[in-house]
Amino acid sequence: MTHYVVIGAGQAGASLVAKLRALGFDGKITLIGAENAPPYQRPPLSKKYLLGEMPLDRMYLRPLSFYEDQNIDLRLGQKVTSIDLAAQVIKVGSEEIGYDKLALTTGSTPIRLPAKIGGELDGVHTVRTLADVDGMKAAFDAGGHMLIVGGGYIGLEAAAVAAQRGLKVTLVELADRILQRVASPETSDYFRDLHTAHGVTILEGTGLDRLEGEGSVSKAVLSDGTVLDIDVAVVGVGIRPDVPLAEDAGLALDNGIATNSQGQTSDPDVWAAGDCASFPHQGARIRLESVPNAIDQAEIVAANMMGSALEYTAKPWFWSDQYDVKLQIAGLNTGYDQVVIRDGGAARSHWYYKDGMLLAVDAMNDPRGYMVGKRVIEAGKTIPANAAADADADLKPYMK
């Protein structure tokens, strides 16, 4: 019987195996995950789940019965230690498992602080897995002073939850401004003001020199010499694609596991999707860290593993929830040379242009602006900057 093996039981892996069955694949499917929990949603981890607003069972992408009903061998808490491409065999502990086709949906891993600066002290957390968040929940309930290291979306979301739970929060960002890598100064200003209004202290252009404590973290020494008494630290300084398994196997890497436009790696019987995979996009090679990409790319890969030859065309979109603000992002702002602000009061959006062409939009509590921007960008069209900046202008005609 034909055997397809999927390594990585996150959003991409779960989407891939479900799509295989939906498309009529009747061979054997094995889905292997290193975590003990069945595939679950990651975005609510740092928001609703951490706030206690979403119970664990609602986090699961599908009930456990789904995998049994679909005859999917779901193996949890198991780590794949090697891939032999020539023999088409993977190793899980001492067990060898043969495959006809293999998909890598290994996701990404958080960047952690080095042990030499206190990264392994108790009370120092990252936000990536269910176990990570379960491990830090008590700190959010206990009050005290929380240090957030990193002013990206993960750090800001953690800061928002901590502030809502009544903690004193200090966020340090080494770059000149929060969100510098992913957003315009205008968007940085918006979220800085939002967090400051909720009592968060944001220190930009300030790094962390080291964390100190006897077993548990109790102090943070900043790059300017400031010493903070803290009770807990959350590190949100980015993630890396989880590629050691692929690298050891000899697969080609390029900012992740390098795939062609169909999701195929340098080995024709091995595929990749999700955070771990890089792929061609508009003349460049990119890797997208988002739920929509994980789902869409995984479903294309499922079809292609079964013999289709579908090209994956990414339609980037992202979101972040902070306090009562829902940020929705459409497109990629890489290379923008102009930003215009559409200020509708409670609804606000920032529109990114290059040479007069709309690239992306950051919409804060502006679902209508986001929807129009997304459709226009995906259609390869644009909206004149003066129209986007006019909160009273009707943008819907530009979707036609």
Q: Record the tokens describing residue 271, joined without a space.
A: 């595929």
Domain boundaries, position 179: 112-235
Residue 295, pLDDT score: 98
Residue 316, pLDDT score: 94
Residue 51, pLDDT score: 83
For the stretch 20-54, pLDDT in tens is 999 999 999 999 999 999 999 999 988 889 888 89
Q: Are residues 223 and 259 in the same domain?
A: no
Q: Are residues 9 and 74 in the same domain?
A: yes
For the stretch 38-97, pLDDT in tens is 999 999 988 889 888 899 999 999 999 999 999 999 999 999 999 999 999 999 999 999
CATH of the domain at 335: 3.30.390.30
392 DSSP 8-state letter: T
Q: Does residue 312 fall inside a structural domain? A: no
For the stretch 2-20, pLDDT in tens is 999 999 999 999 999 999 9
Residue 264 has pLDDT above 90, yes or no: yes
Q: Does residue 73 fall inside a structural domain? A: yes
CATH of the domain at 155: 3.50.50.60
Q: Does residue 316 fall inside a structural domain? A: no
What is d(CA 110, CA 108) in angstroms, rounded to the nearest whole number? Answer: 7
For the stretch 145-191, pLDDT in tens is 999 999 999 999 999 999 999 999 999 999 999 999 999 999 999 99
Residue 63, pLDDT score: 95
Q: Are residues 83 and 44 in the same domain?
A: yes
Residue 400 has pLDDT above 90, yes or no: no
What is d(CA 66, CA 365) in angstroms, rounded to the nearest whole number? Answer: 35
Other beta carbons within 10 angstroms of residue 329's beta carbon come to 25
Whole-structure pTM value = 0.95
What is d(CA 249, CA 393) in angstroms, rounded to the nearest whole number? Answer: 55
Q: Does residue 314 fall inside a structural domain? A: no
Angle between helices 153-164 and 185-197 (to 10 degrees): 20
How many structural domains compose the chain? 3
Q: Are residues 124 and 227 in the same domain?
A: yes
